[in-house]
Amino acid sequence: MDHGVRDERISSKVRLEAFTEKYREALLDFYLPPEQLVFTALPAETLDAAIADPQKLPVVVLQDGVAAGFFILHVGEAVRDFAAGNPRAVLLRAYLIDYKMQSHGAGTRSLALLPDFAKVHFPGADEIVLAVNVKNAAAARLYLKAGFRDNGLRREGLHGPQRILQYKLKKEAWLDKEVAE
């Protein structure tokens, strides 16, 4: 497969799905150029560990039914370092869109779907957090455009300083209303 050629097909139907084995082969074929690999890991490196960890949910980004991206949602004690101690935070990690699918809207659309997806799979969650390398300006722009906020939190990552971005999950309106008796 020629990973250097982008798929010129533009599609608009994007959805998120929890990983199942039917997507393994496609995910293991994902490619990123070296300048992007500095900031994330391919599914070949992260998938099996995520499957084995009950506090991690591997997620496939589908564009017109084709695996276009991947990420992991992580909960539990390990997340607190990223979430200023918030036990109800969900950490978005290892987010990527396969190189041949980039620039066709899968990133923007998948992040727009993320809050509702996270609320379904982690109903007690009140925020999504992520760490983005300060040198990864393109990813930071995408996350900020999707509604994540930079509240000034920083941490040191494997490849340098990281910005911690936060997305506050809204409660459903019906949860705030009292039922009249």
Q: Are strands 160-168 and 149-157 parallel, antiparallel or unpaired?
A: antiparallel
* Banded pLDDT at 174 (limits 50, 70, 90): very low
Give CA torsion, residues 143, 145, 146, 151, to 10 deg.
60
Q: What is the pTM of this model?
A: 0.86
Helix ranges (H only) for 104-148 are: 106-121, 137-145
Q: Of the CATH numbers 3.40.630.30, 3.40.1190.10, 1.10.1740.10, 3.30.450.40, which one belongs to the domain with range 14-168?
A: 3.40.630.30
- Could you read off the pLDDT of 25-79 as tens digits, one per residue? 999 999 999 999 889 999 999 999 999 999 999 999 999 999 999 999 999 988 9
The residue assigned the tokens 């935070």 is: 89
At position 148, the amino acid (one-letter code) is F
